[in-house]
Amino acid sequence: MSNKYADELLVIAEDYATMQIAQGFAESQGVDVRRVRVLPCRSGWQDVAVGMRNVRLDLYPKRHCLAVIDFDGCGEQRRRTFRQLLEENGVALERAYVMGPASNAEKMRRTLMERGYAVRHLSDVGRSLARACFQSQPFELLRSEELAHNAGELQRLCAAVKSFAMETE
pLDDT reading at 2 higher than 80: no
Rounded alpha-carbon distances, angstroms, from residue 114 to 19, 107, 155 = 22, 11, 26
Q: What is the pLDDT of residue 85?
A: 86
Give the whole-angstrom CA distance, residue 164 versus residue 77.
31
pLDDT in tens, 16-59: 999 999 999 999 888 888 889 999 989 998 899 888 888 888 88
pLDDT reading at 129 higher than 90: no
Output DSSP code: residue 43: S
Fold of 8-165: Rossmann fold (3.40.50)
In what helix (H) or strand (E) does residue 111 lie, and over which residues does it extend? helix 105-114
Q: What is the pLDDT of residue 34?
A: 85
Q: How many helices (H) and strands (E) does the chain have?
A: 6, 4
Q: What is the pLDDT of residue 89?
A: 81
Q: What is the pLDDT of residue 118?
A: 83
**Strand ranges for 78-142 from DSSP E:** 96-99
Range of 96-110, 112-126, 134-148 with top mean pLDDT: 96-110
pLDDT reading at 1 higher than 60: no
pLDDT reading at 128 higher than 90: no
Domain boundaries, given as residue ranges, for the chain: 8-165
pLDDT in tens, 64-104: 999 999 999 998 899 999 889 888 888 889 999 999 999 99
pLDDT reading at 169 higher than 60: no
pLDDT reading at 168 higher than 80: no
Q: What is the pLDDT of residue 140?
A: 76
Q: What is the pLDDT of residue 15?
A: 95
Q: What angle do CA 80, 82, 44 make, to 5 degrees?
A: 145
